[in-house]
Amino acid sequence: MESLNVGLVGMGNVGSGTLQILLENQEQLAQKLGIPVRVAAVCSRSIASRELPAAAVGVDRYSDWRDVVGRPDIHVVAELIGGLQPARELIETALSHGKAVVTANKELMAREGFSLWQAASQAQRPLAMEASAAGGIPIHSVLREGIAGDRVVAMAGILNGTCNFILTEMEKAGRGFHDVLAEAQQLGYAEADPSADVDGLDARSKLAILATIAYGCGVPAEDILVEGIRRVSDVDFNYASQLRHTIRLLCVARMGQQGLSLSVRPTLLPKDTILASVSGSYNAIWVQGAYGQDTFYYGRGAGPLPTGVAVVSDILHAGRELLSGRENRVSPYSFKQLTEYQPAPPETFRQPYYLRFRVENRFGIIADLAAILRDHHIGIDAVGQLPITNWRDLPFVITVEPATEGEIRAAVETMSQLDYLLEPPLVMPMFAGF
Ligand SMILES: NC(=O)c1ccc[n+]([C@@H]2O[C@H](COP(=O)([O-])OP(=O)(O)OC[C@H]3O[C@@H](n4cnc5c(N)ncnc54)[C@H](OP(=O)(O)O)[C@@H]3O)[C@@H](O)[C@H]2O)c1
């Protein structure tokens, strides 16, 4: 092999960032791999109208991905189009043509990644997916190699830059969710349809991938408890601040005696913790190992160049594997075989919770709520209420002592029957560590 020939399919955010790095950083990439890394082809459906960098002058352009994966001189195909189909078909076809494959596709890898790895394994070709979770943070390599000698006990991460941007703006400026979301859309930080981000689905796919790599079990993303940030309001930041906390969309994985507990939900974090200081579109992951204890990873979770770095690093990794000629490829999931996912029962872990109510004011509300909590064996930690400005829509907060998810859910279900509640209580865990 005189050069490692690469075909990039998808010329959007990630594809264009990847192309820029491959063209600009050619010299150093060749020094690292030992042979040049050459972009042989780029593809997107609208390639004819796309402006490419001047340095892409000799690069062939295609509008049909089949033309890229079928080219005999291409060694590595990067799938950067996203979605389930035709991305899956593209990867399978590329593998069957003997190509190594690199992908940034979290949705596909969270759902069907392990079967694609089996196909890659059979084809004896590398499959790499570093960019699929936490974009610019090399957390896959860390879990797969850097701390592979450890046994991961727990992880907590901020994995969606759009939500983190919205929440930190709400906190800084005391603004409402919809106002900040509109600005994020204008700035290009949020999609026109923001549901994948603000409803926690994007973070859920990333957590499914990271948990699979960390624990070696096939985690179905749809089994993860997910709550988005739509219900978090400026009032919650006000109360959280009085409690010396802030609010972030937190992804948590914890291994217990009886199984794995996974959740993505808005969470109160003490202001003096490192995770609470992660602002704007940044991501971070805290990993706790049984032996190495705590490690923390921070960086850009998305964006053309940070994600492009992850894709290019995977291309180098694939190139090294192809050059070494090994038949037993390194699994992108770290584990050779995955075990069955064993979810922890909801009574496994105890943690304090923040409950925010909106009520039409009347006598006896606190007494009613306290009685329900008592009946579910949940102790009250504090009750907070800002000065009343509207008797017909009064927000107030109860924080409770550590309880299980099952106890809290049962109590909140009973509370939701109360006729003076304007909406079901907003429940957020208060996370202070594992
Ligand atoms: N954006 C980020 O920062 C980021 C971070 C980490 C991971 N990712 C992942 O990276 C992938 C790409 O994301 P992105 O933000 O770059 O998306 P994007 O900006 O929407 O770009 C997608 C590209 O794929 C092309 N495309 C779509 N379907 C195609 C098809 N059937 N054949 C050929 N080309 C096709 C699109 O162009 P045409 O419409 O012209 O075909 C476009 O060039 C996704 O899996 C995403 O989850 C993104």
Residues 198 and 326 in one domain: no
Residues 368 and 387 in one domain: yes
- pLDDT at residue 389 in the model: 86
- Tokens 């408890």 belong to which residue? 225
301 CA closest ligand 1 atom index: 5
17 CA closest ligand 1 atom index: 16
- pLDDT at residue 188 in the model: 78
Give the binding-site residues of ligand 1, using a 6 Å CB cut-off: 9-15, 43-46, 65, 80-82, 86, 104-106, 131, 135, 302-303, 307
The token pair that represents 225 in the structure block: 């408890």
Domain count, the chain: 3
Residues 129 and 210 in one domain: no
**Considering the domain boundaries, does residue 339 fall inside one?**
no
- pLDDT at residue 330 in the model: 82
**Considering the domain boundaries, does residue 29 fall inside one?**
yes
Contact in structure between 129 and 109 (CB atoms under 8 Å): yes
**Cα angle for residues 387, 389, 390 (degrees, 5° grid):** 130
Residues 270 and 213 in one domain: yes
Phi, psi of 101 (to 5 degrees): -125, 135
Closest C-alpha to ligand 1, atom 37:
44
395 three-state secondary structure = strand
**Considering the domain boundaries, does residue 342 fall inside one?**
no
- pLDDT at residue 347 in the model: 85
- pLDDT at residue 216 in the model: 96
Closest C-alpha to ligand 1, atom 25:
10
Residues 255 and 321 in one domain: no
Looking up residue 190, the CATH number of its domain turns out to be: 3.30.360.10
The token pair that represents 382 in the structure block: 């504090």
- pLDDT at residue 387 in the model: 85
**Considering the domain boundaries, does residue 337 fall inside one?**
no
Distance 14 CA to ligand 1 centre (A): 7
Residues 146 and 281 in one domain: yes
**Considering the domain boundaries, does residue 125 fall inside one?**
yes
304, 144, 114, 305 alpha-carbon torsion, rounded to 10°: 0
Catalytic residues: 206
Distance 80 CA to ligand 1 centre (A): 5
Looking up residue 104, the CATH number of its domain turns out to be: 3.40.50.720
Round to whole Å and give the CA distance between 315 and 304: 16
Domain that holds residue 27: 4-133+304-331
Residues 191 and 92 in one domain: no
Phi, psi of 196 (to 5 degrees): -60, -35
Residues 147 and 296 in one domain: yes
Mean pLDDT by 10 residues, the chain (434 residues): 97 96 98 98 96 94 98 98 97 97 96 94 95 95 96 98 96 94 87 94 97 96 96 96 97 96 98 96 97 97 94 97 84 92 91 97 95 98 90 95 96 96 97 88
Distance 326 CA to ligand 1 centre (A): 31
Residues 176 and 325 in one domain: no
Domain stop point among 259, 280, 300: 300
Distance 314 CA to ligand 1 centre (A): 17
Contact in structure between 166 and 180 (CB atoms under 8 Å): yes
Residues 186 and 282 in one domain: yes
Residues 235 and 251 in one domain: yes
**Considering the domain boundaries, does residue 345 fall inside one?**
no
Cα distances (angstroms) measured from residue 26 to each of 3, 18, 146, 320, 325:
11, 12, 26, 16, 23
- pLDDT at residue 246 in the model: 98
Cβ neighbourhood burial of 228 (10 Å; 0-12, 13-18, 19+): buried
- DSSP of 230-264: TT--HHHHHHHHHTTEEEEEEEEEEEETTEEEEEE
Please name which of 294, 301, 302 lies closest in space to residue 274, comparing C-alpha atoms: 294
**Considering the domain boundaries, does residue 340 fall inside one?**
no
44 CA closest ligand 1 atom index: 34
